[in-house]
Structure 1
């Protein structure tokens, strides 16, 4: 019986150890402009830094929506290890701007969020054209609303569940086979 419990405990530890990577989504640790910052002049680009590397994929997006609802991010999104950035057009009206982002996490799942900042003095820039924003794949201002597991290019959850079931079956098989004592088998013969 002790061998069976030991095998079951080892199987449980193995299951927990393999499930950990599925829970390791990237976390935003800093941004430029900073969260809720007040700026007199608009930045030339948006830079987001995460706790883990970001997969360099075509699905990574950054959008900057102004107080007038127009898009201000323009150009390709670049990824360097755990830092993602996108150039901005010179900003226009004063007010609240929202940086919306959606990135492909190190574990293959999408991570999205928003960072607000305020432009205190109006700039002279003009917004990006709607067609240009759509062509660059810019997310809507509410990037978190577009997050869905079906759009993920990561490992589906059923793979983790199937792996857990297989490991559990192996553990139980080993426990049952090693749990028999030789003296019991000799008395049955």
Structure 2
């Protein structure tokens, strides 16, 4: 085997690995990093808005956020507005003290939808009264089951899509092993 082919056989796996490592962030789904009110917090004063901060910029036009309170009432007063990685939804005056759940669905930079919930408890009644608008049926909790709503952000495996990175790593290993085998075979 010529010296050029040997160098190529050694360099190719390293180049592929570098490409894979550089592209890995593009495969990641966005994650909820923080919220206001914070997840599972006890809130004494009724908030006038809810903010969600994600690990990447989120398009507000592709986001759906609802805030359900006791009895399944939706307190969102309008669509989400965005500022980079943070989405904010205005709220109507909250009503009864009790469990509230922020339910969100956003789209990652890679095009995959990501959804989850942020529960919080209002410890003192808010200034509003229960409105007649029920929470949407798209996974938001109802009065019968506020504690059974999912409380975590799904991972890539949860949304039905298999992660790509194991296949890329396997391809790099197979190509690297083939290069090593070719080098050893050419020496004998």
Q: Deviations along 1:7-33, whole A, 9 cap, x unmatched?
A: 551364156236514532222221111
CA-atom RMSD, angstroms? 4.0
Length-normalised TM-score, structure 1: 0.65
The change in CA–CA distance for 1:143 and 1:127 in structure 2 (over 3 A counts) is farther
Q: Deviations along 1:28-70, whole A, 9 cap, x unmatched?
A: 2211111122122211110011122113433x11111112222
Q: Report the equivalent of 2:35.
A: 31
* Match status 1:119 vs 2:122: yes
Structure 2 CA distance for aligned equivalents of residues 26 and 86 of structure 1: 19
Length-normalised TM-score, structure 2: 0.66
Q: Report the equivalent of 1:187.
A: none
Q: Deviations along 1:112-145, whole A, 9 cap, x unmatched?
A: 2111111111223333624xx65xx976244789
* Match status 1:140 vs 2:140: yes
Structure 2 CA distance for aligned equivalents of residues 95 and 67 of structure 1: 6
Q: Report the equivalent of 1:70.
A: 73
Q: Deviations along 1:70-116, whole A, 9 cap, x unmatched?
A: 21112111111100011111111111111111111233222221111
Equivalent pair of 1:62/1:138 in contact (CA under 8 Å): no
Equivalent pair of 1:34/1:117 in contact (CA under 8 Å): yes
Equivalent pair of 1:101/1:114 in contact (CA under 8 Å): yes
Equivalent pair of 1:53/1:81 in contact (CA under 8 Å): yes
List runs of 5+ in structure 2 lacking aligned partners. Answer: 142-148, 181-185
Larger radius of gyration: 1
Equivalent pair of 1:89/1:127 in contact (CA under 8 Å): no
The change in CA–CA distance for 1:79 and 1:54 in structure 2 (over 3 A counts) is same
List runs of 5+ in structure 1 lacking aligned partners. Answer: 176-180, 182-189
Equivalent pair of 2:60/2:80 in contact (CA under 8 Å): no
Structure 2 CA distance for aligned equivalents of residues 117 and 46 of structure 1: 11
Aligned length: 170
Structure 1 CA distance for aligned equivalents of residues 131 and 66 of structure 2: 12
Structure 2 CA distance for aligned equivalents of residues 74 and 138 of structure 1: 18
Structure 2 CA distance for aligned equivalents of residues 50 and 91 of structure 1: 25
Structure 2 CA distance for aligned equivalents of residues 127 and 32 of structure 1: 22
